[in-house]
Amino acid sequence: MSTLARTAVSYRGAAEGDSLSPARPGSRASSGAQGDGAKSASLALEGVSLSFGGVAALRDVDLAFADGSITAVIGPNGAGKTSLINVITGVYTPDRGRVVIKGRSYSRSPTSRLASLGVARTFQNLGLFKGLSTFDNIALGLSFAARSTIVEQALGVGRARAEVARTRRKTDEALEHLHLESYRDRLVGSLPYGVQKRIELARASVAEPHFLLLDEPLAGMTMDDKVEMTAFIRSVRSRLGATIVLIEHDIGLVMSLSDRVAVFDYGRKIAEGTPAEVQADQAVIDAYLGVPHADEEA
C-alpha cells in the first residue's frame, strides 16, 4: 500500500462544525471495500438516496472505493453517475445516507474542506479558465493550500515567496508528467479538446489528492487521445497512490483501465465487481440493451 493510501487509512482528524460522525463500526467503509476485503476504503457512500422532485437520481447506494484502486462508474444516460460525484463533493446533499471520507461520516460532504481532505475532481464539461494559460490553470489546483497573507503576497515576501516557488515547481512537474510542457504558456481556449482534458487532469492532480473523481475524462476524444489519456490516468494513480473514481461510457477502455466497475441504472447500483464479473452479469447486459426491469418504478 502506498504512503498516501496509508495516510488516508490512518487519518482520524476532522475540523469542528461539520455534520460528521465516525464511520459506523463494521460498516463497509470502515471494514474494507465491497468484494475487496483485503483493502481499506477511505472513501465510501452508505445508503445514499437523492431525488429531484419526482426523479430519483440515486437510490440507496452503498459503494466503497478501495484505497489506491481505480473504480469505473458506468451506466446509461441519466443513471445517476454524475449525481454520485456531486454527492461526494457536496454539490448535492443526499436525502438519506452518508458520505464517508477518511473515517468520518458526513450527511453532507464538507465542500469547503474537500481539498484539504484530499478530494479533487474534474468536470463532464471542462471546468477550465479558457482565457488563462495552461500553467495558470494547473497552478490554480494548488491555490487552496496558500497560507500567506495578502500583504505577503503583494510584497512577495515571507510565506508568499516560498509558496510561489512551490507552486512553480509542482506545476512544472505536472506539466512534465502529463506531457504538457509545449502548451505551458498557451491560452487554454486555443488548444485541442483532448489537450484541455489532459490539462484538467493535471489541475486536479497537481495537489496530490488522495481521491480523484473524474467525470467522463475520455469523452469527446479521438481514439488515440483516449488511449493516451488512459495511460496518463494509470500513471497518476501509480505516482500518487490515489484512489480514482471515473465515469465513462467507453466500456472497452473502462474494462482495461479499472480494477473495479460499479454499474448504475435508474439511480440504483445494479452490479459491482471486477471488469470480467460485471461483463458477465445479466442485469448489466439488460441495462445496456435497454431491457425493461420487473422492479422498474414510475
Ligand X SMILES: Nc1ncnc2c1ncn2[C@@H]1O[C@H](COP(=O)(O)OP(=O)(O)OP(=O)(O)O)[C@@H](O)[C@H]1O
> Which spans of this chain sit near ligand X (rule: CB under 6 A)?
52, 55, 57, 75, 77-83
Shortest Å distance, C-beta 83 to ligand X: 3
Shortest Å distance, C-beta 249 to ligand X: 7
Q: Which CB, 26 or 54, lies closer to ligand X?
A: 54
Cα distance between residue 119 and residue 217, in whole Å: 16
Q: Which CB, 52 or 298, lies closer to ligand X?
A: 52
Q: Which CB, 52 or 150, lies closer to ligand X?
A: 52
Residue 237 CB coordination number (10 Å) = 20
Cα distance between residue 44 and residue 47, in whole Å: 10
Shortest Å distance, C-beta 57 to ligand X: 3
H or E element, residue 176: helix 158-177
Shortest Å distance, C-beta 86 to ligand X: 7
∠ CA 168-129-184 to the nearest 5 degrees?
40
Shortest Å distance, C-beta 91 to ligand X: 9
Shortest Å distance, C-beta 85 to ligand X: 8
226, 250 Cβ separation under 8 angstroms: yes
Q: Is 2 left (phi over 0), alpha (psi -120 to 50) or beta?
A: beta
- What are the start-end ranges of the E strands in 66-177? 70-74, 96-101, 104-106, 119-121
Q: Which CB, 2 or 51, lies closer to ligand X?
A: 51
Paired sense of beta strands 243-247 and 70-74, if any: parallel
Rg of the chain over Cα atoms, rounded to whole angstroms, equals 19
Q: Which CB, 29 or 57, lies closer to ligand X?
A: 57
Q: Which CB, 36 or 272, lies closer to ligand X?
A: 272
